[in-house]
Amino acid sequence: MINMRMKRQRQRGAVIVETAVVIPLLIGLLVGALEFGLAWRLHNEMTRTVQTATLAAARSGVDRQADFQLLREIRAGIPDSDNIAWVIVYRTTAGDGEPPINCVNAADSLV
């Protein structure tokens, strides 16, 4: 009878220790999944905004207001657009879509 009672108390203690080990891991997993989801959503918003702004600028063509339209679409698509330091608007002739080196150098000098 005494052995059964001691065995139950030891098992209860083991359950408490196991719970104390597992709960922080589960909370960390939950927070990590939440952070990943928020980062994924932000990435999708940025991608959609850039696509929309690029399309608006392409529709404007050689209009003098094309760059303004592009910046207005970016401001409308990003909720916290006041934190954007700069936007590079450039014309490329290369097929890779990379900005010309002088645009990159000019942007780096602003930082």
Tally of domains in the chain: 1
> What is the pLDDT, as a whole number, of residue 35?
97
Are 73 and 67 spatial neighbours (Cβ–Cβ below 8 Å)? no
Asked, for residue 49, whether it belongs to a domain, the answer is: yes
Q: Let me know if residue 110 belongs to a domain.
A: no
CB-CB contact of 57 with 67 (8 Å): yes
pLDDT digits (tens, 9 = 90+) for 87-106: 777 777 777 777 777 777 77
pLDDT at 39: 93
- Taking alpha carbons only, the member of 88, 83, 98 closest to residue 67 is 88
Look at residue 26 in the predicted model and tell me its pLDDT: 96
Residue keyed to tokens 């890779």: 96
Q: Domain for residue 101, yes or no? A: no
Residue 21 within any structural domain of the chain: yes
Sequence letter at residue 55: L
Dmax (CA) for the chain in angstroms is 92
Query: Which domain range does residue 59 map to?
Result: 2-80
What's the pLDDT score for residue 1?
A: 54
Within the chain, which residues score under 70 in pLDDT?
1-10, 110-111
